[in-house]
Structure 1
Amino acid sequence: MNIPVSSELLDGCVLALLADKDYYGYTITQQVQQTITISESTLYPVLRRLKKDGALETYDEPFKGRNRRYYRITPLGTQRLGEIRHDWEDYKHNIEWLLKKEGEI
């Protein structure tokens, strides 16, 4: 089933990944794609927006003669992740309630 993913939920997925360790853009894309259907071209604007909003910061590391841009969650990003997780729990609970109604409506 292909359920559209809101930008809020996508932000949460990226921030949750980066809460554990820093990743470069391609790896973030690969990790997210293991869970939800999303194109690479969708994720890079999300990373840029989160950086612009102060939720992420970047740094470059050399790799085989090139630089890889790594993303790191900031304290503001950690706070935002907490808010998204809270909102997700409420949303998930409400959707589960609706889906379990089985003709009660």
Structure 2
Amino acid sequence: MNMKRKYPDCGKKILAIHDAMDVLNGKWKVSIIACLCYKSMRYSELLREVKGISGKVLSRELKDLEINQLVQRNVQDTQPVTVSYEITDYGVTLKELTDVIAQWGFLHRERILSRKTN
């Protein structure tokens, strides 16, 4: 059977997946998005919440997420200046994805741990 006929949109789907992965690539972006889906956070809060990320990497990831219009940086004119980050309306479209990934992660962890204990 000719695979092109059976899955005519496979190439388009793969291209779309590659586009999404280019935006969400790396170890931390999805975690940052997941945190910001619930509330806006200051840089130091994100640094505490996303366990294991360095300050330099967090800064870079936040800039990338800003460029891709998923996160907005808000500067308040206070003394000292207060900066917070919040998910954009466009970024909120990824909440369902982060929920599904988290659910799969919970199930996978249970599966692997139960296999090790048996």
Normalized against structure 2, the TM-score is what? 0.63
Alignment partner, residue 40 of structure 2? 22
1:61: how far off? 0.5
CA distance in 2, matches of 1:47, 1:25: 9
The amino acid that maps onto 2:108 is: N
Report the identity percentage.
16
Larger Rg: 2
1:103: how far off? 7.5
Contact 1:12–1:85 (CA<8 Å) still a contact in 2?
no
Pairs within 5 Å for 1:76-91: 76-91=90-105
The amino acid that maps onto 1:7 is: G
1:102–1:24 Cα change, 3 Å: closer
The amino acid that maps onto 1:13 is: S
CA distance in 2, matches of 1:84, 1:21: 15
**Alignment gaps of 5+ in structure 2:** 1-24
Alignment partner, residue 7 of structure 1? 26
Contact 1:56–1:77 (CA<8 Å) still a contact in 2?
yes
CA distance in 2, matches of 1:78, 1:23: 15
1:68: how far off? 2.8
Tell me which protein shows more strand as a share of its residues. 1
Tell me which protein shows more helix as a share of its residues. 2
CA deviation string 1:12-62 (max 9, x = no partner): 332233233322323321333xxx222211211111111111111122102
**3-state SS of paired residue (1:100):** helix
**Alignment gaps of 5+ in structure 1:** 1-5
